[in-house]
A and B are shown apart, each in its own frame.
Chain A
Amino acid sequence: MAQNHCVPGESTADRASMTKAGHGGGRLVLVLEDEPNISEAIRFILHRDGWTVISHAEGQDALEMIVRERPALLILDVMLPGRSGLDILEALRADPALADLPVIVLTAKGQAADRERAMRSGASLYMAKPFSNAELLAAARQLVGV
C-alpha cells in the first residue's frame, strides 16, 4: 500500500494532474524510504522536476509494489522495516523483467564495505546520507537518460 504523505495543496491521488514539465517528464519514480520527512523532501524535489512520485515506507511488500507500479526509477533506502533494501534489490535483480530497473540506493552507512555490498547487490548508484538535493536530482536524471 503506497504511503501518500499529506502534501499541502495537492491531492494525493492526482498523479495525472502533476506537471509533465521539467526533466522528469511525468516519469514514475518509486521512493522506498521509511523516514517520512526524508521521503517528503525527496517527493517534493522530484515532483518539482516533473516526476510522478509515489512513496512507500515498508520493505515487506515492496517487491509486489514495484511489479505492480513498474516505475521508471526506484529510490531505495537500505534500512527498511520488514525487509532490507539490499534484500529487495537482490530479489529484483533476479527477476529478468526488473533486472534493468535503475535503482538509487540510499544509506546512512557510508563505509566502503556498505558501498561495495550495495553495488554487488545490483545498485545502479549509491548515495550516502546526508545527500544534497542537487546530487539526487542529477542522479535521477542521469539514470533515466534525461
Chain B
Amino acid sequence: MLKSQLAGNRIRALRKARKLAQAELARLAGVSPSYLNLIEHNRRRASPALLDAIAETLNIPAETLAQGAEDALVEVLRASAAVTSAEIVPELDRLEELIGRFPGWAGHLASLAQRVETQERAIERLSDRMAHDPNLSAALHEIVSAVTAVQSTAAILVETGELDRDWREKFHGNIHADSQRLARAAEALVAYLDASGEEAGLAAPQEELESWLARHGNHFAAIEEPDPPDLAALTEGQAELASHAAREMARTWLVQAHTDARALPLAPLLAALRAMLASGAGFRPDALAEVLDVPMDRLFRRLATLPEARDLPRFGLVECDGSGTLTQRHPIEGFALPRFGGACPLWPLYQALAAPLRPLSALIEFPGRPAPRFLAFARAEPIRPAGFQAPVVLRASMLLVPATPAVLGGVPPALPQLEVGSSCRVCPRLACIARREPSIVAG
C-alpha cells in the first residue's frame, strides 16, 4: 500500500515535472488515460511491466518507480513532520510530490531530521548520565561542599572588621584545608571526565559492537582456529569500538564465539546444513541440533555467525534478557530491529519468555511490499541452573531465516503465522492487539 501510493504519486510528480499531459503519458505507455489517472491517484497498482514502460517513457531508471527507493525517505520525513512545532503544518498529502520533484532538498531535510533525532537521543543519554552517574554526583558534591566552606569562611574574614586572632587563624587554616580539598576534587573530576571522554560518543556500547560485527559480516576467521583468537589484535584500533565498554563486549563476544566454534566446528555444521537443505525437508534447527549433538542456543549463535555463502541462507539472531531488553542483535535484511526503545511484543522471542524451555516456531511477516517473511525459532532458558533461593534469570534467543522454498521445505509447515513489526512507533499495523503507542508511519 505504501509503495503503490508512492509509485502513483511519484509517477504524477515526475510527469508534471516534465510538463507531460496525463493523456500523453498514457498513450506512450500504452494504457488508457483513465487507468493512468487511477494509478496516479493510487487507486490501482501498476504492474511491474507498466512501471517499466512508464519509466522508459519518462526516461528514468525503472528502479526509481519499481523499488521503494524513497520509502525510507518518506518514513523519515513523516516521522519528522509528526514532531514539528504546533504552528507548522507540513503538507503530508504532498510529501511524495516533494520527494519526486525536489529529491535533493527532500534528502537534505531527511538528513537534518535524522541528525536532530540522533542528537536528541545523545543529549537524552548524556543528561541521564549526568543525573545518575554516581561518580560525577560524588565529585560535584565534594566540589560544591568545599566551595561553600571557602566562600562562607572567606566572607567572614572579609566582612568582619575586628576578628579575634584565634578565630582568624582558625578560619585561615580552614580556607587552606578547603582549597586543597577543592584542588583534589577538581583534579579527580578532570581525570574522571578525561577517562570517560572516550565513551561520550553518540553510540551506546552495544551499538558500537553491532557496527563492528556488521562490518565483519558477523564472522571472524580467527574464531575457527584451534588457538584462542588474539583479542587485543581484533578489538584494538577498530573505528567502531570507540569505548572501553564496547571493546570489552567485543572481547566477550569473541571468546563466546571461539568456544562455540570449538564445540561446533564449521565443517560438520556446513555439511549438515547443506545436506538438510538439499534433502528438501526444509530448515529444522531441532533436527540439526540433534544430528550435531549441540544445544540449541549454541547452534543459533553459530548459524548467525556463518561466513557468507551463496548456497546458504543468511541467519539473523536476537537475544533478550528477562526484562525484554535486546542483548544480542545480528540483523538480516528485511528484519528491522528497533534502534531505540522496545521491540514488537509479538515476536516469538517474547512469547518464548512466557514459556521457558519450550521451543517455539512461527512464520512471521514484517510490513512491506513484498512483505518480508521469516521462519522464526525461539527458546528461553535460565542462564544457569536455578537455585532454590536465587531468582531465575532467563535469556531468550530467536533465530530468523528468510522463508524461502528451500528453507520451508516441500510441504508448507503447519506453523502459526504472525504479522509482526519492528516496534510500535514505526509499525503500520494500526489494529494490532499488542500496540502500546501510536504509530508515526500509518494513517
Contacts and interface: CB of A to CB of B under 8 A. Distances in A.
B274 to A, nearest CB: 60
Nearest to B143: A108
Contacts of A40: 153, 170, 174
Interface in A117-141: 129-133
**Max chain B C-beta neighbours (<10 A), residue from A7, A38, A48:** A38
Interface stretch (B60-68, B154-162, B386-394): B154-162
Contact of A37 (B155, B160, B178): B178
Interface string B139-151: 0110011011101
B225 to A, nearest CB: 53
A101 interface: no
B149 A37 contact: yes
A139 to B, nearest CB: 14
A145 interface: no
Contacts of B145: 35, 38, 108, 129
Nearest to B140: A108
A130 B152 CA distance: 8
B167 A129 contact: no
Q: How many residues of A sit at the interface, in one of the four size bands?
A: 20 to 34
Given A79-B141, A108-B140, A108-B145, A41 B167 contact: no
A8 B169 contact: yes
Contacts of B170: 6-8, 40
Contacts of B152: 38, 41-42, 45, 130-131, 133
A129 B148 CA distance: 6
**Max chain B C-beta neighbours (<10 A), residue from A35, A37, A130, A131:** A37
Contacts of B155: 132-133
B156 A129 contact: no
A13 to B, nearest CB: 18
A130 B147 contact: yes
Interface string A31-61: 0000101101110110010000000000000
B177 interface: yes
Contacts of A38: 145, 148-149, 152
A96 interface: no
A101 to B, nearest CB: 23
A31 B153 CA distance: 16
A132 B155 CA distance: 8
Contact of B167 (A35, A44, A108): A44
B87 interface: no
A129 to B, nearest CB: 4
A2 B245 CA distance: 47
A8 B177 CA distance: 17
A36 to B, nearest CB: 8
Nearest to A5: B170
Given A8-B167, A9-B166, A44-B167, A37 B174 contact: yes
A35 B148 CA distance: 10
B164 interface: yes
A33 to B, nearest CB: 10
**Max chain A C-beta neighbours (<10 A), residue from B152, B160, B164, B177:** B152
Interface in A95-127: 108-109
Interface in B94-136: none
B374 to A, nearest CB: 45
Nearest to B170: A8
A37 B164 CA distance: 18
Contact of B153 (A9, A41, A48, A132): A41
A41 B147 contact: no
Interface in B33-88: none
Given A41-B149, A45-B152, A130 B144 contact: yes
B144 A8 contact: no
Nearest to A110: B144
A53 to B, nearest CB: 14
A8 B164 contact: yes
Interface in A1-25: 6-9
B174 A131 contact: no
B148 A108 contact: yes
A79 B140 CA distance: 13
Interface string B162-188: 001011011100100110000000000
Given A108-B145, A133-B159, A8 B153 contact: no
A37 B150 CA distance: 8
Nearest to A130: B148
The 10 A-B pairs of least Cβ separation, nearest first, read A8-B166, A41-B152, A108-B144, A37-B149, A130-B148, A129-B148, A37-B174, A130-B151, A38-B149, A133-B155
Given A9-B166, A38-B149, A108-B144, 20 more contacts: A8-B167, A9-B164, A37-B153, A37-B174, A37-B178, A38-B145, A40-B153, A40-B170, A41-B149, A41-B156, A41-B171, A42-B152, A45-B156, A48-B160, A108-B145, A108-B148, A130-B148, A130-B151, A132-B155, A133-B155
Interface of B: 140-141, 144-145, 147-149, 151-153, 155-156, 159-160, 164, 166-167, 169-171, 174, 177-178
12 contacts: A8-B169, A38-B145, A41-B149, A41-B171, A48-B160, A79-B141, A108-B145, A129-B144, A130-B147, A132-B155, A133-B155, A133-B159
